[in-house]
A and B are shown apart, each in its own frame.
Chain A
Amino acid sequence: MVETGEGRAAGGLRAGMLAAVPIALGYFPIAFAFGVAATGAGLTAWEAAALSVIIYAGASQFLALALLTSGAALPVAALTLIAMNLRHLLYGPALMKAAGQGAARRHAWAWAWGLTDEVFGAALGDLARGRRFSESYMFGLGLPAYAAWVAGTVAGALAGGGALADWPVLEAGLSFLLPALFLALLLSILSRPQVPVIVVAGVACVAGTLAVSSTVGILAGMAAGAVAGVLRRVRA
């Protein structure tokens, strides 16, 4: 059977949506917790939902709550949150580098909005395992994750505080989804040449987190790992 372009697009969309399952499962409870925290901090359900729809970056949304409730000036809050998301500048180029020359990016203005940490990691892992890059795959990967994030926020905002208090084991299992996902993604891209990069990134992240903050730890880990990759001796 000859596969049409439309068929390939549908296949890419389906494959992306399947790969997005653990991301969506991980996002929902975290977004739920954000919704609960937002209403607890005095925001309305609409305001909580608007933060998730418009910002769509988990850690910086939690930080936004802290800044809003502490009365930080708007420019200070905005610059702090923007600085926290600077790492996203690197994701598009790294993804397109892995996708190879000629990779389509006509609709990137839309699917790139969903290029969060987890979506980037999942896409990169699939490319490393031989999946061919397609924009339909990126839409399939990004849409369920975004939907889960917004739905989780709304559910949390409507439920109010303590909604998972009666289900501690479920809450615990859901809380471990994201570290488990990152570990699985790490295993999926693991290769001998990348071991120094991974070790340096991990050590720098721990050091930055312990010395300053988790945000500095994340930026330090990514920067130090990438620099280690540049300095790594290229074997013939």
Chain B
Amino acid sequence: MSGGVLVLALIVGAANWGFRYLPIRFGLGTGRDGAQDGGLMARFLAAVGPAAIATLFVAAALPFAAGGDLAAPLAGSAAVVAVWCAARSVVGATLAGAVVYAAVFALVT
């Protein structure tokens, strides 16, 4: 294995582990850091989750929108919403979205 690849992986991997673990280790978000209910930090942390998920959805969906043909992504998204409303299941909604997307993709290509 190339030494450069391994060194790069170790540096970036160590940073990733630190980013994911150290804020938990030092109690950020647990109330010991001033994140009491109603405080600025509490509101910031409460908003991070929805903001992150909304952002990641948009980032994941943008390449499909940029592809031009919106029939399959729109049908897939509609299936996700429909199954979520009917069953309140993240697993079911996700799989239904992928199946409907693939079906419409097969029809239009």
Contacts and interface: CB of A to CB of B under 8 A. Distances in A.
Interface of A: 18-19, 21-22, 25-26, 43-44, 46-47, 50-51, 54-57, 60, 64, 68, 74, 77-78, 81-82, 85-98, 101, 103, 105, 108-109, 112-113, 115, 117-118, 120-122, 124-125, 129, 168-170, 172-174, 176-189, 194, 197-202, 204-206, 209, 214, 217-218, 221-230, 232, 234
B54 A197 contact: yes
6 contacts: A22-B90, A22-B94, A90-B52, A112-B21, A121-B52, A232-B47
A194 B50 contact: yes
Chain B interface category by residue count: 35 or more
A230 B50 CA distance: 13
Contacts of B51: 197-198, 200-201, 221-226, 228-229
Given A50-B6, A113-B20, A189 B53 contact: yes
Contacts of B98: 25, 173-174, 176-177, 180
A41 B75 CA distance: 35
A42 B72 CA distance: 34
A8 B109 CA distance: 49
A55 B13 CA distance: 4
Given A74-B7, A97-B35, A120-B52, A82 B12 contact: yes
B12 A55 contact: yes
Nearest to A173: B102
A78 B87 CA distance: 44
Given A86-B19, A93-B29, A109-B25, A117 B52 contact: yes
B80 A184 contact: yes
**Chain A, interface SS category:** helix
A179 B61 contact: yes
B8 A179 contact: no
A124 B52 CA distance: 11
A25 to B, nearest CB: 7
A198 B54 contact: yes
Interface string B84-109: 10001011011111110110011001
A189 B88 CA distance: 11
A60 B12 contact: yes
A88 B20 contact: yes
B48 interface: yes
B55 A176 contact: no
B53 A93 contact: no
B93 A187 contact: yes
Contacts of B9: 50-51, 54-55, 64
Nearest to B47: A229
A93 B76 CA distance: 33
Given A93-B48, A197-B51, 13 more contacts: A54-B9, A88-B19, A92-B20, A93-B28, A93-B35, A94-B29, A121-B52, A124-B49, A173-B101, A197-B50, A198-B54, A218-B55, A222-B52
